[in-house]
Chain A
Amino acid sequence: MADYLVQERKIEEILPANTLKTCVPQAEVVREIKPAPPRFRNEIAKYVVHRSSDCIRCGKCAGVCPYGVHVYKPGYKYFAAPKNHLCIGPVCEKTDHYCVALCPQGALRLAENPMIEGLGDYRWPADMILATWKMAQTGDIPPEAFGFEYQCGRSGGGFDRLRFKFPDKPPVELDEDQIDTSIELNRRNDGRPKIKIDVPWYGGGMSFGSVSNVTQLSKARAAVAWNTFTCTGEGGYMERLRPYDDHVITQVATGLFGVREETIQRVPIVEFKYAQGAKPGLGGHLLGDKNTVSVARMREAVLGISLFSPFPFHSVYSIEDHMKHMDWIKHVNRRALIATKVSTPTDVDMVAVGSYSAGTHIVHIDGGYGGTGAAPDIAKKNIAMPVEYAISKVHSFLEAEGARDVITLIASGGIRTAHDIAKSIALGADGVVVGTAELVALGCVRCTRCESGRGCPRGIATTDPELSRKMDIEWGTQRIINLYNAWRKELVGILQRFGMRSVSELRGRTDLLMHLDYNNDVGAER
C-alpha cells in the first residue's frame, strides 16, 4: 500500500484493497531506442531517384550512397526499387557522394516526388508527416540534411507563426543529462499522490472503438516506458489495458460508456471530459459501422448503432454539481487525481478557475484544432477558440486569481511537434496532451477517413479485425517510444539554448517568444 495513505489515514480498513492499488501485476516496458522501420513496402519519400534504361548496373551508385538509397542485391540482374525515403535530395549535390553526378552513364535523375502534393494539409504539411515518421523510425531528430521543414505547419497562425528568441549563446552551458523534463501533476498538497511524469506530455484519450486495441495498447506501453500516461477515452476500459493500469487515465465522459466503479478504481488519474476540442459542445461521435461486436459489448450498447454522447453531463449544470461529481470519483478512488477536460470557449479562463475551486488537480484545455476521431466538419473549424489563445488566457487568469501554482494546466488541440510543446509551455501551460502525432508515428497519413465504414484503411483507427492486423503491438510501441525520445531531445535542445535546467522554468516565459506577424515591440509580461 502506498505510504502516504498509510500515514494519512487508515483507510485500508474501510475500503477494498483495489482502491489503493491495482490488483493486476504491472508490465514493464523498457525505454529502449531501436529502429522501427516503416511497415509499408514503399515509404513515401520527399524525393525520388529515377533510373533510366541507360543504366549498365555497374553498382557505383549503391557503393557511394551512404544512406542506402540504391539497392543492388548480389546475384540479382536488376536493381531493386530504390529506398527513396532515405535520399536527402538536392543538398547532396554539394557532397562527394552525389549519385546523379557520379553515374558514369548519366542514368540517374533526382526529382521532387509529385505525390507529396497529395500528402498532408495546412496543419500537418507533408514535411511534418515525413519528419514524424522519421523520428518514429529512428528515435532521433531528423538530420538537417533531409531538409524537412517540420517544426511549423502552414496554417498561417498560432504556433505556426510563433518562434523562440534564442540567445546567441546560452547563459549557462548545460549537458543534456543536467536538464529535467519532468513535471508534477498534483500541486494541491491534498494528501493524494505526488505524481510526476518524465516528459511534459501524455497521450490523449482515444476510445476503444475509435482506434484499435493495438493502437491503444501501443500508446499504453509507450506511456509505461516513458513514465507518463495514456488515456482510455470514453469507450470503456479494455481488460488488456490492465497490466498498464498505473499509466492509464480513465475517462468519465457524458456517454458514461463502460464507466464502472471498478474501472475508476484501477487508475491513478480519472479525467472528466466535459467537452473536446474537435467537437466542442457536441459530445462524442462513433458512427454505426465502427460499433462492432467488441465495441458494443464494451460500451454496453446496441451493435451497429451510431453512438452520440450527449452534451453536456446531464447531471452537471453548475460548478457545485461539478464538485459533487468529483467527490463521487474521489470517494470511489481515494488515490486518484482528477483531471477536468474542457474545451476553449470565450470564458475558458473562468471555467478553469471554477474547476480549480471544485477541486480538480489538472485543468486540461482542449483547443478547437485538434481531435483524432469523428467530428462534424462544422464543429472542427468553427466552434471554440484555438488553444494558442486559450493557454495564455487561462494562465494569466489563474495567476491573477492566485491559483496558478496549485493547479496543473495541460493544453491540447493541435500539438504536433516538440516545438509546439515548448511553445505551449512558454505560453503558460505546464504540459500538453498529444494525440494525432502518435497516430502519425504509427503511419497515419491524415486521409480523414477514420470515422466511417470499416474505419482507418491503415489499421490504426479501426476495430475491423482484418484491418487491425496491419499493425503489431511491438512495432507500434517502439514507434511511439522513438517519437517521444526524439521530442525529448528537441525539447532538451531548446532548454539548453536558454540555459534552463528544468522545463518548469520555461512555463509562462512569453518573453522568449516572438510572433512573425507582430513588431514584437513590447516587453512581454512574465
Chain B
Amino acid sequence: MQAKNTMPEKYHIKTQPVPPRRPRVGKYGVVDWREDCARCHNCVKKACVYDRYRLETEYIRNLSDVDALYFDCRGCFSCVQDCTKGLLCLSVNPVYEALGNSYWTPEIIKTTWLQAETAKIPVSGAGYSGRFAGPGFDSMWTDMSEIVRPTRDGIHGREYISTSVDIGRKPSFLAFDGGKSTDALPPLVSLPMPLVIDMSPPRYGLPKLGPLIMETARRTGLIAIIDSNDWPSDEPDKEQYLPHVAFHLGPGAPAPPKKLLTKMRLVEIADGHNVVERIKELKDVHPDIVVSVRVELNAQGPRRATDLAGFEQVEVVHAVADLNGNELGVKEPRFIKDMIRQIHESIVEGRRRDEVTLMASGGIALPEHMAKAIICGADLVTINLPLMVALECHLCDGCRPGMPCPAKLEDIDFDYGVGRMTNLIAAWHDQLIEVMGAMGMREVRRLRGDVGRAMFFEELEEETFGRLFGTRKKD
C-alpha cells in the first residue's frame, strides 16, 4: 500500500508574463543626425544585437499616441562606436531620470516593472555598480554562511525554505490536563509569506483598483487591508474575498456588520484612547478575528507601539512610517529600520515579544527591504506603492483629476492588473528565498530580530576603519 503523502503543499504562486501596456521607459536612447549620414550601406543599426532600431521603426510606424518616446536602447555603445561617420550619440533618457523621487529611484521603478512583467528575479552581469552604502536599508548587508550549514539551493533547491508567518498572539507555553489543552488557543492568521498589502495612499486610490488588489491577495494567499468605507457593500459577490481582506476601521468608523466580520481573519483599527474597548467590541462579535492596531510612527510612535504591545488585548501592532520609510512630522526623521529595531528591542525587554506581532509599513520598496525589516525585528511588512509601480506607475506625483497619467492607470484591465501585481509578489517571494538560502535560514519566522544575520554599516565602519582611523567625521 502506498504511504499517504503528508507533506504540506509547497507555497507557489502561479504566474505568467504580462507585458507592459505602455512603451518601455529605458535608461538610454540613441540620437542620430541623419543629414550627415554617408549612405555607406553598412549601417551599424542593422547589426544591433537587440534589434532595437527595427523595433523603433515599427513603434514609430504604429504610433497612436504622441506622449511616449521610444527609449529601449541597452547602452552597449556598439552602434555609436562602429558608425562609419560617428553620427550616433547615446544619451540618458530624461523621462527615465524623472521617474520616482529620491527614495523611489528610477532603478527601483525599472526593476519593479521588470519583475511585474516577468515574475522573475532580476539578473544582470558586470558586478555591482551602485554606491558603497547609503541611507536607510542601504546601510545594512545580509549575511551568508560559507560551508558549514545544511544544503540549501535557494529557489532551485530541494530543501523547503518556509516563508510563512503567523499573525497574532503566540502563547509561550501550553498547559494540558488529561491530554487536552486547558487554555483556549488564541486565533492566528497564517500567511504564506511575510507580506500584507496595505491601503493605497489617497492620491492613488482609484476605485477600480480595489477589486484588482483583492484578487491579487486571493491569488497569492495574502491579505489586503482596505478602508472599511471602500467596501462595495452593494456587491455581495465580493464577499468571497473577505478571507483575504482586512478592513481598516478609522477613528470613528463603526464595526463592520457581523455577516462580513465573521468571514474575515484580520481587521485593523486606528490607534486611539479606546483601543482596548474597540478590540473587545470586535472580539465579541467574532472571537476568532485577529485585530491589528495601526500606529503612526511619529515622534511618539515607537513609544506608543511599545506601550500598545504591553496591553494584554493587543495582538498585532502595525507601525506605519511615511511612504519613504521616514518618521512622520519631525525635522530630522529616523528611518523605519531604526524605529523597528527600537520597538522590537523594547518589546523584547518587556517580555512580550511572542505575545504580539509587529507589522511594519513604509519605505519597503524592494524585496531585500522585506528581509532587512524582518531582521530588524518586524514579523512582516506591508507594501502599497510597489504594487502601483507594478502597474507601470511612474510615481510622478501628478495624480490629479484632469491631469494626464503617463501610466494611464484609469485604463487598466483586470487581468493585466492582477497579473502584474501577482508577478511582482512572486518575484519578491523568490528573492526572499534566495536571501534566506544564502543565510542558511529555513524559516522566515526565525529571521525576526536576528541581527546576527546582518551587518550594519556603522558597526562595520567602527570595527574596521574606526580602529584604524579614529573618529568618524559627522555627515
Q: Which residues of A contact B (CB under 8 A)?
A: 40-44, 81, 114-115, 117-119, 121-124, 155-158, 160-161, 274-275, 278, 280-283, 285, 287, 308, 310-314, 316-319, 321-322, 342-343, 345-348, 351, 368-386, 388-389, 392-393, 414, 436, 439, 444-454, 456-458, 461, 467, 510, 513-515, 517-522, 524-525
B257 at the interface (CB under 8 A from A): no
Question: In whole angstroms, how far apart are the Cα atoms of A393 and B459 in the complex?
Answer: 13
| Minimum CB–CB distance for A483 against chain B, Å | 17
| Contact of A322 with B147 in the complex, beta carbons under 8 Å | yes
Q: Which residues of B contact A342 (CB under 8 A)?
A: 146-147
- Supposing A40-B81, A118-B91, A520-B469 touch, asked if A371 and B75 sit within 8 A by C-beta, the answer is no
Question: In whole angstroms, how far apart are the Cα atoms of A119 and B91 in the complex?
Answer: 9
| Contact of B130 with A375 in the complex, beta carbons under 8 Å | no
- Please, which residue of chain B has its CB at the minimum distance from the CB of A41? B82
Q: Which residues of A contact B455 (CB under 8 A)?
A: 346, 385
Chain B CB count within 10 A is highest, among A313, A384, A439, for A384
- Please, which residue of chain A has its CB at the minimum distance from the CB of B114? A377
- Supposing A282-B434, A346-B143 touch, asked if A519 and B471 sit within 8 A by C-beta, the answer is yes
| Minimum CB–CB distance for A231 against chain B, Å | 16
B253 at the interface (CB under 8 A from A): no
**Which among A42, A117, A318, A346 is the interface contact of B82 at CB below 8 angstroms?**
A42
Add 9 more A-B contacts to A156-B134, A346-B452, A371-B126 (CB < 8 A): A280-B438, A311-B437, A317-B147, A374-B124, A378-B122, A380-B127, A381-B128, A389-B463, A447-B75
| Contact of A282 with B438 in the complex, beta carbons under 8 Å | yes
Segment among B152-160, B309-317, B341-349 that sits at the interface with chain A: B152-160
20 pairs of residues in contact across A and B, judged by CB atoms under 8 Å: A41-B83, A118-B27, A274-B146, A274-B147, A281-B437, A282-B154, A311-B153, A342-B147, A345-B146, A371-B128, A374-B123, A378-B435, A380-B124, A382-B371, A382-B372, A384-B144, A414-B127, A514-B469, A520-B470, A521-B471
Question: In whole angstroms, how far apart are the Cα atoms of A73 and B440 in the complex?
Answer: 66
| Contact of B74 with A447 in the complex, beta carbons under 8 Å | yes
Q: Which residues of A contact B82 (CB under 8 A)?
A: 40-42
B473 at the interface (CB under 8 A from A): yes
Contact with A along B108-119 (1 / 0, CB 8 A): 000100000000
| Contact of B470 with A312 in the complex, beta carbons under 8 Å | no
B43 at the interface (CB under 8 A from A): no
Question: In whole angstroms, how far apart are the Cα atoms of A444 and B77 in the complex?
Answer: 10
**Which among A281, A372, A389 is the interface contact of B126 at CB below 8 angstroms?**
A372
| Contact of A382 with B368 in the complex, beta carbons under 8 Å | yes
Q: Once A and B bind, how many residue pairs between them come within 8 Å at the CB atom?
A: 281
Question: In whole angstroms, how far apart are the Cα atoms of A289 and B460 in the complex?
Answer: 39
| Contact of A448 with B129 in the complex, beta carbons under 8 Å | yes
Q: Which residues of B contact A377 (CB under 8 A)?
A: 111, 121-124
Q: Which residues of A contact B103 (CB under 8 A)?
A: none
Chain B CB count within 10 A is highest, among A44, A313, A382, A510, for A382
Question: In whole angstroms, how far apart are the Cα atoms of A382 and B438 in the complex?
Answer: 11
B104 at the interface (CB under 8 A from A): no
- Please, which residue of chain B has its CB at the minimum distance from the CB of A306? B156
**Which among B86, B91, B128, B469 is the interface contact of A524 at CB below 8 angstroms?**
B469
| Contact of B127 with A312 in the complex, beta carbons under 8 Å | no
| Contact of A312 with B132 in the complex, beta carbons under 8 Å | no
- Please, which residue of chain A has its CB at the minimum distance from the CB of B144? A281
Question: In whole angstroms, how far apart are the Cα atoms of A452 and B114 in the complex?
Answer: 14
| Contact of A156 with B123 in the complex, beta carbons under 8 Å | no
B1 at the interface (CB under 8 A from A): no
Chain A CB count within 10 A is highest, among B78, B126, B128, B371, for B126
Tally B residues with Cβ within 8 Å of A: 78
Q: Which residues of B contact A316 (CB under 8 A)?
A: 147
Question: In whole angstroms, how far apart are the Cα atoms of A171 and B130 in the complex?
Answer: 39
Question: In whole angstroms, how far apart are the Cα atoms of A191 and B101 in the complex?
Answer: 61
| Minimum CB–CB distance for B359 against chain A, Å | 22
| Contact of B127 with A278 in the complex, beta carbons under 8 Å | yes
Q: Which residues of A contact B76 (CB under 8 A)?
A: 445, 447, 449, 457-458
Question: In whole angstroms, how far apart are the Cα atoms of A525 and B75 in the complex?
Answer: 45
**Which among A155, A449, A522, A524 is the interface contact of B132 at CB below 8 angstroms?**
A155
Q: Which residues of A contact B414 (CB under 8 A)?
A: none
Q: Which residues of B contact A313 (CB under 8 A)?
A: 147
| Contact of A518 with B49 in the complex, beta carbons under 8 Å | no
- Supposing A41-B86, A42-B86, A317-B150 touch, asked if A382 and B129 sit within 8 A by C-beta, the answer is no
| Contact of B153 with A384 in the complex, beta carbons under 8 Å | no
Question: In whole angstroms, how far apart are the Cα atoms of A436 and B472 in the complex?
Answer: 31
- Please, which residue of chain B has its CB at the minimum distance from the CB of A160? B132
B80 at the interface (CB under 8 A from A): yes
Q: Which residues of B contact A388 (CB under 8 A)?
A: 464
Q: Which residues of B contact A381 (CB under 8 A)?
A: 128, 130, 138, 368
Question: In whole angstroms, how far apart are the Cα atoms of A452 and B124 in the complex?
Answer: 8
**Which among B78, B127, B467 is the interface contact of A370 at CB below 8 angstroms?**
B127
| Contact of B470 with A118 in the complex, beta carbons under 8 Å | no
| Contact of A376 with B431 in the complex, beta carbons under 8 Å | yes
| Contact of B91 with A114 in the complex, beta carbons under 8 Å | yes
Q: Which residues of B contact A42 (CB under 8 A)?
A: 80-83, 86
Chain A CB count within 10 A is highest, among B77, B78, B146, B154, for B146
Q: Which residues of A contact B335 (CB under 8 A)?
A: none
B190 at the interface (CB under 8 A from A): no
- Supposing A351-B147, A377-B111, A378-B431 touch, asked if A436 and B127 sit within 8 A by C-beta, the answer is yes
B59 at the interface (CB under 8 A from A): no
Question: In whole angstroms, how far apart are the Cα atoms of A241 and B75 in the complex?
Answer: 32
Question: In whole angstroms, how far apart are the Cα atoms of A457 and B74 in the complex?
Answer: 10
B184 at the interface (CB under 8 A from A): no
Q: Which residues of B contact A457 (CB under 8 A)?
A: 49-50, 74, 76, 78
- Supposing A122-B131, A448-B129 touch, asked if A518 and B469 sit within 8 A by C-beta, the answer is yes
Q: Which residues of A contact B92 (CB under 8 A)?
A: 117-118
B34 at the interface (CB under 8 A from A): no
State which residues 27-51 of B face A: CB under 8 Å: 27-28, 49-50
Question: In whole angstroms, how far apart are the Cα atoms of A243 and B147 in the complex?
Answer: 34
Chain A CB count within 10 A is highest, among B133, B142, B157, B366, for B142
**Which among B124, B156, B460 is the interface contact of A308 at CB below 8 angstroms?**
B156
| Minimum CB–CB distance for B256 against chain A, Å | 39
Q: Which residues of B contact A371 (CB under 8 A)?
A: 125-128
Question: In whole angstroms, how far apart are the Cα atoms of A312 and B147 in the complex?
Answer: 6
- Supposing A319-B148, A448-B126 touch, asked if A517 and B473 sit within 8 A by C-beta, the answer is yes
